[in-house]
Amino acid sequence: GNHKPEMAIAITPFTALCGFQPPDNIVENLQTVPELAALIPQALVQEFISAKEDAATSNDESTKAALRSSLRKVFEALMTAPPETVSLQVSALLARLSSTEATPITSLVQTLYQQFPSDIGIFCVYVLNLLTLQPGEAIFLGAGEPHAYISGECVEVMATSDNVLRAGLTPKPRDVNNLVGSLTYSMTSGEKHLVRPTPWGGGGDGEDGGARYGGIDDGDGGRVGKTKLYDPPVEEFSVLHVSLRQDETEHHRAIDGPSIVIATSGKGEMVGAGDGVGSFNLEEGTVLFIGAGEEVVWKARSRDGLEIYRAFCE
């Protein structure tokens, strides 16, 4: 199958585990969470600590590769730990956390335990980054980066793929061996996964095309309207977010590629600026396909305004 990069844009407060934590954090957790360490052979823990220290004093690519290789062994040992051992250590972890001060991590462990008791995925909170997004914030996961969406609602966009691999926190079939073999084992802070939106130069307010749509000049000859662009570092997709108040309009220039649109709140319509599109009513849940090369205008028709997300490639 194809590689599967994806992006999630929060619609509500949204919690996710994404990508491996920096090596210092993983070592700290291996040393301070005895129930986690009990699931991994001590020799592999020591190998990872040594590889982390080597990588900290050398910028050599081979030491970085050795650190990633060592993390793979640690993660594989964790994900393939015997179920009875996992169950025992989950119980021990919950008992210990019940007498400690609550933190976002300990609260998440308890929540996950209620939903997936004795699941190995509970321990992934100690090796993956925990991120909480506010509406409008977004994360990008490159191909081969582990993640789990914990709570909240999002707009999710991904490349065409038939190779979703699951290993924990799911009632669906799991394929631990292939998951372990497909990850990149890159270790970064959670903030490195954030995608920050920017004003899109292809929008503007009005209904008759070109610079006549008004908006603010972006300095490159483009128009800045009520559309934000989320542009992750892959070619397969980008996303536009349009947020309109009642009776506001927003024009989109023709995009040189196909688009899929979903309306997430409010009501309105999309009107084609050319002959081939026509007019479509929009309400929460409406999904539209827009072919390449079509100019369109978005119109909000309710007191709640209109919000749409438009995934496209160009």
SS3 169: coil
* Separation CA 296–CA 249 (nearest Å): 10
Phi and psi angles of residue 75, each rounded to the nearest 5 degrees, phi first:
-65, -40
Closest of 52, 40, 44, 109 to residue 78, by C-alpha: 40
190 contacts 18 by C-beta, under 8 angstroms: yes
CA distance linking residue 165 with residue 121, whole number of Å: 14
Selection from 95, 148, 84 nearest residue 118 by Cα: 84
3-state class of 1 per DSSP?
coil
> Strand, coil or helix: what is 47?
helix
Please, how many CA atoms are within 13 Å of residue 237, restricted to the half-sphere of its CB? 22
What is the C-alpha separation between 243 and 298, in angstroms, rounded?
A: 10
Of the candidates 68, 72, 166, 301, the residue annotated as catalytic is 166
Q: How many CB atoms neighbour CB 211 within 10 A?
A: 12
Is position 166 annotated as part of the catalytic site?
Answer: yes
Beta bridge pairs of residue 224: 216
Enter the tokens of residue 147: 């993640």
Q: Which of 259, 262, 250, 247 is nearest to 300 (CA)?
A: 247
Active site amino acids: 166
